[in-house]
Structure 1
Amino acid sequence: MTGNLSKDQHDRPAVWTKLDASGQQAAMDFAEEYRRFITGAKTERETISLAASLARRGGFVHLEDCPGLKPGDRVFSISRHKAMALAVVGTENLEGGLNIVGAHGDSPRLDLKPQPLYEEAGLALLKTHYYGGIKKYQWTSIPLALHGVVLRGDGQLVELVIGEKESDPVFTIADLLPHLAREQMEKKMSEAVSGESLNLLVGGIPVRSEEVRERVRQAVLERLAAQYGLSEEDFISAEIEAVPAWPARDLGLDRSMIGAYGQDDRVSVYSALRAILDLPAPSRTAVALFMDKEEIGSVGNTGMQSSFFTNFVAELAARCLPGYSELGLRRILARSRALSADVNAGLDPNYPEVMDKLNAARLGHGVVLTRYTGSGGKKGASDAHAEFMGYVRRLFNQNGVIWQSGLLGKVDQGGGGTIAYLLAQHGMDVVDCGVALLGMHSPFEVAHKGDIYMAYRGYRAFLGT
């Protein structure tokens, strides 16, 4: 079977050795489309906006515009521009359950504080608060762009993207020169760069008036007013994120990999989106789910802990079942099955000591099935049952999906979580399934094109059963 593990876990089949020439070309073509997507999807809003555009092109319509649904109908719903659910209605009764692939569209970044602008030493800077788990030193001395929205005082919403065009300025966080960094370099890496020092350089030319106390800061305010119609108070009602100012790039002499910001977890978003867009009318109703706030605990009204997903399923049920009831909704959810589409850590040749090599995922060896995540005794994990692991294995093998098993590091080394446990709370079976990355949560994460393609094929096979 294509996906079977060999007796030696170190000798797993590589995707490229199992694909013929046409399969290899299909993987490359898919990766090129993904590369363009992730270059334009650097915030959760941009991710959902691009996903919605592709969904409309694929024949999906707003669920709210459909008073009733029949097999083959393709619908979607969006919550506050940051969470999205898509469904293809199946031929079987909805009470038999759904096939769900759920990912998250947020990624670690730097958010501007509500009152960010200040001047120091003749320079204007913007204060930030990091979002999600980052190594703070990785965000210094790189070009950064500003992406986001501002709701002005007059009620108009202004979209900002500064730093992506070649003609745009970029921003950065200057690091301390090595000549003066003796004390800094003696600190632990987690303490060498503080959160409060992650301040963006944004200006250095003062206004001419000597009556103004902070002349460079004033010049920045005047430029914001002239170019974007923004006042300083408008920062209070703004969502502006600092993200790496570079596009996704092919990586390696053989172009086998993609290096990009935000692949955790937008590689899963794109793969799942394409899987449901390419899906013919299934037997069981198929759902692709893209949630927000996973990096900070899936909180808020766009996170997985919100009622958005449950409400979406309720709206489907009300349009598909003549005798809709709360009990019916609970049955649908409990009888569903899900893949929590999230990335895993690949074995890095530079840091093999943090991984259990026998159970570590390897780049280029297929989509990763992760039975449990969590930390410190599986805390926070949903821990998939043997029966469901067996079901997914058989499904992938029957559909030629090249897969591997993986865990997130050695026992007690660290750990992490996904939305799997929140899906499992409804009673459904769920397992984590996604692409292995190097440099996860860094400004430039690395994924293998063969794994990305197998994630798409795995998600499509799962949604279509």
Structure 2
Amino acid sequence: MNPILDRSYQEESNVISNEVKDFIKFVNDSPSPFHAVESARLRLDNAGYKEIKERENWTGKLKNNGKYYFTRNRSTIVAFAVGGQYVPGNGISIVGAHTDSPCLKIKPVSKKESAGYLQVGVETYGGGIWHTWFDRDLSIAGRVMIETDEHRFEHRLIKINRPILRIPTLAIHLDRNIAETFNPNKETHLTPLIATATKALTNGPDNDDKNRISASKHHPILLDLLVKEVDVKAVNQIHDFELCLYDTQPSTIGGASNEFIFSARLDNLMMSYTALTALIDSTKDTESLCNDTNIRLISLFDNEEIGSTTAHGADSNLLETTIRRITLSNIGSSSDKISQAIFEETIHKSFLISADMAHAVHPNYSEKHEANHRPQMHKGVVIKVNANQRYATTAATSFILREAAKKYDVPLQEFCVRADSPCGSTIGPMLSANLGLRTVDIGNPQLSMHSIRETAGTDDVGHAIRLFQGFFEEFPNIDSRIVID
């Protein structure tokens, strides 16, 4: 086909779908896990999901055809819809992903000064490719704990939308080898500057620190930015914060045919977004949910990038206690033995898709991939397999996924690392081991994973949404046809 002669084909290939546009908005609105959870909450609210609290008693409150969600630490969110034909002991169709990405976080005491510059002390979070953070237009986002005028304490989100920080590289004239041997020290070279000392003194905030309880820990010029952003009257209303740095360059579509997504945090906001969207889309059809014998659930965890062993990570009790509370909420005052039996029955009828981004084959480093396992963008969601169970996929669980993919004709690929290469891991193996859940590990292919700027394919957003939607709608039927000894 000659694209010059066939302009209609060329124009069609350049069309950007609404789901890709919405994903770009989701990423741009989510510079921290707290923002990602807030973005998810807004979408769930608009879709008719009701917020519940972990600290409340759920007994008798969860109804068939009901749609619910809750958060933990405001950085992890669980959402679920109860099938119309669900009864305690039936299964749960689960998709798990994570909201966090490698980043730099502001230290508890961040006040630094060197050679006439004011600097902000940061520490690394996760396994980032830290050299990509140099010479970027950086800002801060996260949450601030404030005291209101009514002497109440609340969590408030903050996102400064302009660049205020930068980590400059050393000029090549001062180190002729830097282009070949750039290996920055994470403690001494990765410290961003926020202002010059001269300008901070002449144009900065009032330097009377009498009521500035945090002035000894952080530069007043930083604190004043926070005060303005969270809309409080004084610095002493700010009691603590968790802030990460982010690149102010927004996510965007690129490529000659609009085929690429250039963005921060694709790992793992793409899988979080697609799981969330699939759950919402699958429950718009009231007939589909009314006829479902299962519960449809997504769990978007924090802290996967640092091992998940936190109160709101996948290696916590979060998913187990959630399943117990959901399945036992309507069985009244049954004995502990009956309750445990129902929980065990539920676990063995349930299924988990562990969704985390995958490695697309790199055109300049194709030898890093095993020859028969080179995932490509636009060619489908990747099933991840590892003989040493760094991924939880088995023949039985990949079969179930393939059957679910047939609902919307979703293409699938396979990935297995080279025998001489290390292999990452996901939330899949830990949840599978801790709960005994059947699990499959999957992800969309991307390049530059853990860089400040990553690349993925536009078609793959839709592929993942429809795979998850097909799974939610078809899993009980698929499972009923599998013979289990």
- TM-score norm. by structure 1 comes to 0.85
Bigger mean CA offset, 450-459 vs 229-238 = 229-238
Matches within 5 A, 1:13-412: 28-64=17-53, 67-90=60-83, 91-152=85-146, 155=153, 157-162=155-160, 164=161, 168-185=162-179, 187=181, 189=182, 191-204=183-196, 205-207=199-201, 220=221, 223-224=224-225, 227=228, 237-279=240-282, 280-281=288-289, 282-322=292-332, 323=334, 325-372=339-386, 378=388, 381-407=390-416, 409-412=417-420
Instruction: Give the whole-Å Cα distance in 2 for the aligned partners of 1:331 and 1:25.
Output: 49
| CA deviation string 1:10-47 (max 9, x = no partner) | xxxxxxxxxx99x9899722111111111111110000
- How many aligned residue pairs are there? 431
* Paired amino acid for 1:86: A
Identity of matched residues, %: 22
Structure 2: distance between partners of 1:74 and 1:210: 51
| 1:406-460 per-position Cα deviation (integer Å, ceiling 9, x unaligned) | 23x4223222110001221211111112211111111111111111111000011
120-129 or 351-360: bigger deviation: 351-360
8 Å Cα contact 2:97/2:355 also seen in 1: yes
CA contact (8 A) 1:144 1:245 kept: yes
Indicate conservation of the 8 Å contact 1:27/1:453, yes or no.
no
Alpha-carbon distance, 1:152 to partner:
4.3
Separation in structure 2 between the aligned mates of residue 179 and residue 26 of structure 1, nearest angstrom: 45
Distance 1:34 1:225, change over 3 A: closer
Q: Structure 2: state its 5+ residue gaps.
A: 1-8, 210-214, 283-287, 475-485
For 1:38 and 1:26, how far apart are their aligned partners in 2?
20
The alpha-carbon distance between structure 1 residues 123 and 401, as it changes in their structure 2 partners (threshold 3 A), is same
Task: Report how far residue 395 of structure 1 moved.
Answer: 2.5
1:347 and 1:357 in contact (8 A); partners too: no
Task: Give the distance between the partners of 2:102 and 2:135, measured in 1 at CA.
Answer: 17
Mark the CA change 1:156 to 1:451 in structure 2 (over 3 Å): closer, same or farther: closer
For residues 226 and 316 of structure 1, what CA distance do their matches in structure 2 show?
A: 41
The aligned amino acid for 2:115 is A
Relative to 1, partners in 2 of residues 1:84 and 1:24: Cα closer, same or farther, differing over 3 Å? farther
Give the one of 408, 431, 456 matched to 2:465: 456
Residues of 1 paired with 2:146 and 2:266: CA distance?
31
1:438 aligns with 2:447: yes
* Counterpart code for 2:372: L
Structure 1: state its 5+ residue gaps.
1-19
After superposition, where does 1:421-436 map in structure 2 within 5 Å?
421-425=429-433, 426-436=435-445
The answer on whether the counterparts of 2:407 and 2:470 sit within 8 Å (CA) in structure 1 is no
> Secondary structure of the equivalent of 1:38?
helix
Shift of 1:353: 1.7
Range with bigger deviation, 307-316 or 268-277: 307-316
Aligned in 2, Cα 1:211/1:449: closer, same or farther, shift over 3 Å? closer
What SS is found at the alignment partner of 1:207?
helix
Structure 1 pair 26–335 and aligned structure 2 pair: CA distance change class (3 A): farther
Contact 2:138 2:163 in 1 (8 A): no
Name the CA distance, whole Å, in 1 between partners of 2:134 and 2:88: 50
Deviation at 1:401, TM superposition (A): 1.2
Change in 2 beyond 3 A, CA 1:247/1:453: same
Residues 1:181 and 1:334: Cα distance change in structure 2 (over 3 Å): farther
Structure 1 371/234 Cα, relative in aligned 2: closer, same or farther at 3 Å?
Answer: farther
Provide the C-alpha distance between the structure 2 equivalents of 1:210 and 1:337, rounded to a whole number of angstroms: 58
Q: TM-score, normalization: structure 2?
A: 0.81
> What SS does the aligned partner of 1:325 have?
helix
What are the superposed Cα offsets for residues 304-356 of structure 1, whole Å, 9 maximum, x if unpaired? 11111112112211224344612322331232111101110000101112111
